[in-house]
Amino acid sequence: MKSKKFFYINIVLLLVNVLLIGSWAFRPDTSVVAPAFQPVRIKTRDDTSVGQFRLSKRTTTDMLTALAENSPIKLDFKEIAEGESSEGEGYVSIKAKQTVKMEGVQHYTNYQLLHFCEEDGFWYLVYSTNYMARAVGYPAASQDPVNFDVPADVLSDSGQYAIVIKGLGCCLFEIS
């Protein structure tokens, strides 16, 4: 009698364990982790770089502000103009006033658009023109406005942005 009772208790415990292990093994995926790779669905020229590339912690708002103030070219943000881009449909033109502060500065056509992420405190490169590099640029001239054409979709999030012409100038602006 005692051995039968012991046998039935062990059978019940064994069935409970099998049910628990089975329910754990066949549970639906409830993880909150995003997929590792998500393709960028922004219409742009094939020779440009678009996406989100996190820059190092050395790229700070203070560093970009100092770059804007101490560069050979001063860029002052004016506006974002829809329908005025030379790139055509799907692009907007970021307009800035360009003032040359040093004579003999060579201007290059490549520029980058950065976006600051409040969540993690990093700046991200979201667009780069990637025009073919030239050994020599052309003499920079003051212009009002100078246009920086970017895909409209890269400006879809609110927050702080920066247009950077590497080694020449920087312009910070905010979208709300």
On the question of pLDDT at 35 being above 70, the answer is no
With respect to residue 107, please indicate whether it lies within any of the assigned structural domains. Answer: yes
Q: For residue 145, is the peptide bond before it cis, meaning its omega torsion is within 30 degrees of 0?
A: yes
pTM above 0.85, yes or no: no
Provide the pLDDT confidence category of residue 6 given band limits of 50, 70 and 90. Answer: confident
pLDDT in tens, 79-114: 999 888 888 888 999 999 988 888 777 766 788 999
Residue 54's CATH number: 2.60.40
With respect to residue 77, please indicate whether it lies within any of the assigned structural domains. Answer: yes
With respect to residue 36, please indicate whether it lies within any of the assigned structural domains. Answer: no
How many domains does the chain fold into? 1
Spatial contact of 116 and 160, defined as CB atoms under 8 Å apart:
yes
On the question of pLDDT at 32 being above 60, the answer is no
Rounded Cα gap, residues 115 and 108, in angstroms? 21
Rounded Cα gap, residues 35 and 101, in angstroms? 47
Could you tell me the two tokens for 112?
A: 């980058």
With respect to residue 1, please indicate whether it lies within any of the assigned structural domains. Answer: no
Q: Which residue has the higher pLDDT, 34 or 168?
A: 168
Q: For all residues of the chain together, what is the average pLDDT?
A: 80
- Domain encompassing residue 126: 49-175
